[in-house]
Amino acid sequence: MAKVVPLPNNGSRHLTLGVSALQNKNYASAVAHLEKAYKQTPVFDVARPLVKAYVGLKQAKLAVPYISQYMEDFLAGERTTTVLFDVLLALPDYRFAWAVLHHVEGPLHQTLMARVEAAEAQDDAANAQELDDLAKKLRHLGGYDAHTQEQMIADLGRLPKARMIAAAVPNLTDPDVHPAIRVSLLDALTAVGADKPVSVSGYQTAGQVVPSKLPGVMNDPTLLAVLNQIQLQIGLTDPELMRATVETLRFELGYLYPFIDQAVADPKHFAASYLDKEGASVTPGERALFNWLGEQTAKLSEMAN
């Protein structure tokens, strides 16, 4: 009987060849081998060199799914954090870069902040007209239909920080901009550390806030208090209903940010009314608010069509 010779591990072979090609700056070959290696062994240790190869090949967009999946791993060390910023600045996505800087500490934070600022300045000098045109469009989202608004805010991160802030602010008081879009813009200003007061319109209210001092819509204390009440009042008797209600209400209450506390004075009562909208204890104000939230959700559904 002939001796059986075991075949080499294909994933390991492609990883070795891919890393070698990456070291030799043969990025096309590196990507080809590392993609095959990752398919065989989908782990961070393979994703990391693959991301570097995409950046070398000037295909940073292809690296986005990997940095999203392994964000904590990339932020765990100085070298990998630097690779993460290689991707963000190659895209470029300045909104994401400024947001991620909040999670970087020590001397590396200052180093990377200086790098982001330098990249923005260079981009501004080289592509002023392109950035001007994009900023003008983004400053007037209310002039576009809802679906186009949703598509356009995806380009916000293309703008350097100062331009991004200037483009976002006018939309925060525009009644023709959907509340969900306004909240996304406000969260973006919080992420990039906008530290000057801005005017914001909300449900039956308006006021000034400093974005950098806000908690972010998903961390709003009133929103969290309402969701907690929903969980307590439904209990474990119907976990599917509880999860579905929490997810829906998390999204709908977001329309009210950053003034959720002004619309929801009593989280416990609001939660009870939301769960029984035809109940006798539902106030006229709550009923009007529920109708308004439903209208905003219907408009969002139109965006997807």
Please name every residue paired with 121 in a beta bridge, in sequence order, or none if there are none. Answer: none
Quick check: 77 and 85 in contact, CB under 8 A?
Answer: no
Determine the average pLDDT of the residues in 119-133: 97
Quick check: 47 and 35 in contact, CB under 8 A?
Answer: no
> Each residue of 233-251: b (16+ CB within 10 Å) or e?
ebeeeeeeebeebbeebbe
Q: How far apart are the first and last CA of the chain?
A: 65
Q: In this structure, is residue 108 part of a structural domain?
A: no
From the CB of residue 104, how many other CB atoms can be counted at a distance below 10 Å?
18
Question: How open is the CA angle 143-148-154, to the nearest 5 degrees?
Answer: 115
pLDDT band at 304 (very low <50, low <70, confident <90, very high): low
Q: In this structure, is residue 279 part of a structural domain?
A: yes
Determine the average pLDDT of the residues in 20-36: 96
Q: In this structure, is residue 134 part of a structural domain?
A: yes
Q: Do 85 and 141 sit in the same domain of this protein?
A: no
Q: Do 83 and 136 sit in the same domain of this protein?
A: no
Q: What is the pLDDT of residue 237?
A: 82
Residue 61, phi then psi, degrees to nearest 5:
-60, -30
Q: Do 195 and 227 sit in the same domain of this protein?
A: no
Q: Do 197 and 238 sit in the same domain of this protein?
A: no
Per the structure, how many domains does the chain have?
A: 3
Q: In this structure, is residue 100 part of a structural domain?
A: no
Determine the average pLDDT of the residues in 149-177: 95
Q: Do 143 and 190 sit in the same domain of this protein?
A: yes
Q: In this structure, is residue 98 part of a structural domain?
A: no
Examine the fold and report which residue of 36, 71, 91 is the final residue of a domain before the chain moves on.
91
Q: In this structure, is residue 103 part of a structural domain?
A: no
Determine the average pLDDT of the residues in 235-255: 91
Quick check: 46 and 36 in contact, CB under 8 A?
Answer: no
Q: In this structure, is residue 275 part of a structural domain?
A: yes
Q: In this structure, is residue 228 part of a structural domain?
A: yes
Examine the fold and report which residue of 180, 214, 248 is the final residue of a domain before the chain moves on.
214
Q: What is the pLDDT of residue 148?
A: 86
- What are 8-26's pLDDT values in tens digits? 456 589 999 999 999 999 9
Q: Do 236 and 201 sit in the same domain of this protein?
A: no
Closest by Cα among 175, 182, 305 to 255: 182
Closest by Cα among 255, 260, 247 to 297: 255
Q: Do 176 and 238 sit in the same domain of this protein?
A: no
Examine the fold and report which residue of 158, 190, 214 is the final residue of a domain before the chain moves on.
214
pLDDT of residue 128 exceeding 60: yes
Q: Do 246 and 168 sit in the same domain of this protein?
A: no
Determine the average pLDDT of the residues in 288-299: 94
Domain that holds residue 172: 128-214
Q: Do 140 and 189 sit in the same domain of this protein?
A: yes
CATH at 55 = 1.25.40
Q: Do 30 and 80 sit in the same domain of this protein?
A: yes
pLDDT of residue 2 exceeding 50: no
Q: Do 61 and 85 sit in the same domain of this protein?
A: yes
